[in-house]
Structures are given as structure tokens and as C-alpha cells.
Amino acid sequence: MARRSRLRTSDSGRRKFWLFLIAAAVGTVVAVAVFYEEQLTSLVDLWQESVPDESLVADTIRGTIYDRNFKELARSLERVSLYVRPREVQNVPETAAKLAGILALSESEIVARMERDSQLVWLQKELDQEEEEAVAALDLPGIYLHREVARAYPQQESASQLIGYSEKNLGLAGVEHYYNRLLNQDRVRQEDFPAIDLKGLAQSGSRGHDLVLTLDMKIQAILEKYIQGIGKKMGSGRISSLLLGTDQGRIIAGASYPSYNPNTIWQSKEGVLENLFLTPMVVPDEIRRFYLDAALLQGGWERGRQVYPWSLISAKTDLGSQLRLLERLQLTTEMNVDFSGGKKLQTDIPRFEGTRPSPDFGAIPRIAKPLKVLLGMTHLLNGGKKIQPHILDRIMERPGKREFYYDFFHGSTEGRNVFPALVSEELQKLLLTQGKPGVLGSSSLCGETVSLVPGEHGAGYVRDRMAVIVIPAIHPELILFIVSRSEALQVAPKDNSGAGALCKGVDSILPSMVALQQVYWNVADMVEVKEGEEHNFTGGSAESPAGSENLATMLNNQVMKMPELSGLSLRKGLRLLQGAEVEVTVRGTGRIISQSPEAGKPLSKGDQCVLTLKTDDTPDKVMQINTLQTEEATPK
């Protein structure tokens, strides 16, 4: 065996030693780098948390969002919080005793927080004005006030799917996301928001804007109550609705169930944040058939002859004509609406596998976003006038108070018609025969599908329902669209079976919503004459020709029915009867225990109504009340 060289052994040992030193040095450098990176990150975070927000100046914070009646929907508020740097506190017990007299914390709890081994400890978030002033007056070492701007939503869950939410001055969904630049302090140009008419100006102001939406929270409340009632009967699943004006595409209300509270967005489940109107769904055969009939009528019109869906030759239509129609109706093109946005928006169309054979509808798509279906139906029924669904009415500059209105066409008439008016009139008549009639001349078209939907955790059956309620069917002014998605195999209550469940009780809410809409337009006509001329609530307009009944006329001619008054106070009962022009006889005092005529009976001018009231310790009294003078006659 050859003798091992001592020199080689020595060199090998030194080489291992140096390799060890190098490895140790590299490890030390990496460890130090990681340590300082963590420390630097925490210091940056600490600095960001402790330094007051300079954007608290009133005219530079994120703009306010209003409904069309100037009810606040979103606003920015100053929030003051209290924190402590434990190492700077000179006398912990004395400091804790002074703070305990101001805050909703005990001395022991404050002491425990101050003794933590941390550079910064929060004591209380969101101090009120009195607490803030009291803490500031103490001027305690190590105790600091932190100011920031927080976004608040006074209406909480109401219309949250449309309004959206924001975090740290950045909109993440809905209107808050789409109009980030307007709500913040950015100067915008015409090309930034083409649908907003800047009246020829190169750009808007640079200190932020307030937004006025087309939403009406009074109508919103009515629709939300109705949708919640359907949703609770449906059990698990989702349901959404939109009330759209057919003239210019203004979204008047939009309710969803379940909804979420943007003030506590972190507590919401994943699926609740998605907008069902922007989620691809299977279109029911009832609605697809209406589109096919429209294509047949359109094809006949293009060839210069009348071809009706029920004629012998109606089945002969070419796919090219259908595709051209669908493109004009924007059913197969991309949409850009101003209440969408955010990472929760679903853009990929999933693959749906139907559970039953579907009739041949040619090129009419089987899968579409409900918002596109609504837009197409509106174009088919509003005389072929092109619209764009939108939720913004106008923006208001905060410094100069200038207003700029939403105007998709900026006064241009080019390309305003996407469908022949004569064909649209035939479709309105067709809707009366295919749909279910309702109050105020309305007609509803409902349908549902059951499909197998592949997903991340395996395929599952879903039930998609759609209901379109056109108000009125002839020369429509409003369209209410309701969609729902639920598990197809779940057992539904008897009163929630079939697509008709979506609009089973809609007749009870339509008159109230239409009345509020009419009141708004009447006020708008007095305040803004030019704006009022664009609406279709006055007889003889382009949308409601002379000789045809519009919603205002139908509302006035509607036969009032006796409401259910049992259990109500006299004052509330008389208010429900106000406007019926009936003679009311009141017997007794207290709450209403019986009525004549009974609930649901038609009321005519001059009818006699008897309300019987009862309490245990008050003798009966009889009063004659004319509902034309309800306010004066109502007992105090």
C-alpha cells in the first residue's frame, strides 16, 4: 500500500477548513440579510401605520357616492386610533390608570398590553371625538394617536353588489372599482371615460369627484325585500335582479341574495362577492325561442316581406341573419359596464353539459351572461333603440361644482337603432301571447334549465332560472330581470317549484316601484326641463305615442284593492287607504281587529269602509273619516 503524502493530507485539511469558513460566512450573510429584511419590513409597516395620513384634507379624500335622490351610499371618514410604544412609557401603572378612565379598557388589560415585547401595540381602534380630545390632553409619553381615512357604507348590504367596496383608498369591485380615477384625486380626460360628456373641455378638475348614481334606494328597498323573500324560500343558492329603464339603460335598482356588507368585507364568503349577472348561465328555452322568433321577423324584414314566427315558412331562416342580429343585440360581443370589475369577476365561460335534449335554435347561444340577455331583450322590445346599461348618472367636481352627465352617444343619432321599430312592435305583441300577463299591462317570460357543470372539485348539477318582466308589454318603459342559481337536486318548497317562483308575487311590488319612479320623473321635469323631455312618462312622447297608455296613465287607472289592515294602528291603516277616495267609519279605539270590506276586494270612489278597533279598557267610539282629509282627521 502506498504511503500517503503528509503534504497532500495537510492541503486537504486546509481546503476543508476554508470551505467551512466560506460556507459559514455565506450562511451568516444570508441570515443577517433575512433578519434585516424582516426588521426593515416591520419598520416600514410600523412607519406606515404610525404616520398620520396626509390625505385627510377634506377636498382631497375619496369622493362620495350618492343615489339619484342624494342619499349617501359611500363616503370617506376620518378614523382615529390609539397605540403605544412600550419602550417609551415612563410609568406603566400611572399611564394605565389615566387611560382606563377614558377608554373602555381596564387598568390590568392596558398594563398587559404595555408589557408586551413589541415596538408597537394597538390599544383601541376608532376613538370617538371625546376620547380623542381627552387622550390628547393627557400628553402621555409613548402614547400616540393614529389618523387615517376609512371608507364607510351607510346603507350596509343594500345594493352592495353594484356599489362594490374599497380598501386603502382603492376600489376593488363595482362602481368603486370602475370609477377609481374619478373618486380619487386624478384629473381625467374625455378619452378616459368616453361615456361621460365633459362638454368639450380638455379635462376635468384634478381634486376628485363625487358620483351621483341612477339608483333609487326607495325602489331598491322594495326590490330587496321581494328578492330576500324568494331567496329564503329557495334555501341555499343565489338570486340577483336588476330593474332597468328601457329608454337609456339606467339601472334603477339591483338586489341580490345573499348579499354582503362592504363595511365588513373580510367576513364574506367567496361566492357571495361574485355578481350573478356577470356569471355565464344556461339560457332557458323560453327566452331562446323568443330570440329565434325575433331572428325570423328580422329576416323577413330584411327580405322586404313580412314573415311571422307562426307562419308556414317561418322555419326557413339562415344562420348568417341570426348571427348578424345577435351581434347587433350585443349578445355575442364583449360588454363594458360601469358596475363590474374586481378580481371576483368571472370571465371564463364554463362548459355546460345539458341533462336533456334541447330544441334546435340555430345560432341562438345556449350559454350567456344574464346581463347580455337583459340587454338583448331590451333592444328587441324598446323599439330597437340602442342603450347601454349603466349605473352612473353624473359626476360632480368638488372644487368647481361643475356637473358632467353620463351620455353614451353625446347627442349623436348615428347608430342609435339596432333593430327595426316595426319588428319590435310585433315582438311586443308576441310577448303578450307567450308571456304571463300582470298588473300595469306587464308580461313575464320565465324558464329554467338543469345542467351538469364541471368544477374544480368535480361536476355538479345546477338549476338556472331566468325571469324577464316587461312593464308594460306594449311600449315598455321598465324591465325587471331576475336570475337564480341553486343546486338542482335540493328539495324545494311547493311554492318555490318552477321558474315561475321568481315572479310569482311580482304584481304586489310593481305598482309601488312604478309610483316612485313616476314621482321622481315628475320632480325631474320641474327641476330640469331638458332632461325631463328625454323620458317617456309624458303622453305623446316618442316612446309613448299619443293614443297609447303609458305607465303613468295605467297607474292612475289602476283599480285599488282593500289592503290587509288587521293588527295595524289606525294611523297606519288610514295611510294605506289614502288616495282611495272612500268613506271610512272607525269603531272603537286601539288597533284594528276587523275590517269591511275584507282584504283584496276592489275599492271604488265613495265606497263605505268600516274599521273596528279594540282595547281592553277603553269604551267604543264611532268616527266618520273621509280619506281625502286623512291627515287632518287622523287622531293624534
In tens, the pLDDT along 411-467 reads 776 668 888 888 899 899 999 988 999 998 999 999 988 887 776 666 778 888 999
CA pair distance 460, 454, nearest whole angstrom: 6
pLDDT at residue 529, rounded to an integer: 37
Average pLDDT over residues 588-602: 87
Least confident of 3-12, 139-148, 157-166, 328-337: 3-12
pLDDT band at 496 (very low <50, low <70, confident <90, very high): low
pLDDT band at 524 (very low <50, low <70, confident <90, very high): low
pLDDT band at 617 (very low <50, low <70, confident <90, very high): low
pLDDT at residue 366, rounded to an integer: 86
Give the residue ranges of DSSP H helices in 331-394: 370-381
Bigger pLDDT: 37 or 258? 258
pLDDT of residue 38 exceeding 60: no
Domain 220-527 of CATH type 3.40.640.10: no
Tell me what percent of the residues of the chain surpass a pLDDT of 90.
22
13 grid coordinates: 485539511
44 grid coordinates: 416600514
pLDDT of residue 71 exceeding 90: yes
3-state helix vs strand vs coil in the chain, percent to 5: 35, 20, 40
CA pair distance 470, 468, nearest whole angstrom: 6
pLDDT at residue 339, rounded to an integer: 86
pLDDT of residue 346 exceeding 60: no
> What are 123-172's pLDDT values in tens digits?
888 788 888 888 899 889 988 988 888 889 999 999 999 999 988 788 88
pLDDT of residue 43 exceeding 90: no
Bigger pLDDT: 317 or 21? 21
CA pair distance 38, 40, nearest whole angstrom: 5
Least confident of 200-209, 231-240, 431-440, 521-530: 521-530
Q: Residues 24, 25, 30, 32: is their CA dihedral positive or negative? A: positive
pLDDT band at 296 (very low <50, low <70, confident <90, very high): confident
Domain 65-152: give its CATH superfamily. Answer: Penicillin-binding protein 2a (Domain 2) (3.90.1310.10)
pLDDT at residue 345, rounded to an integer: 44
Can you tell me which residue has the cell 349617501? Answer: 72
pTM of the model: 0.72
Helix or strand holding residue 632 (H, E): helix 630-633
CA pair distance 308, 403, nearest whole angstrom: 47
pLDDT at residue 278, rounded to an integer: 87
Average pLDDT over residues 490-519: 79
pLDDT of residue 592 exceeding 60: yes
Helix axes 510-527, 217-234, angle to 10 degrees: 160
Q: Are 73 and 155 in contact (CB under 8 A)?
A: yes
What is the pLDDT of the chain when averaged over all its residues? 77
Q: Are 47 and 146 in contact (CB under 8 A)?
A: no
pLDDT at residue 414, rounded to an integer: 64
pLDDT band at 72 (very low <50, low <70, confident <90, very high): very high
Average pLDDT over residues 297-314: 61
Tell me what percent of the residues of the chain surpass a pLDDT of 70.
74
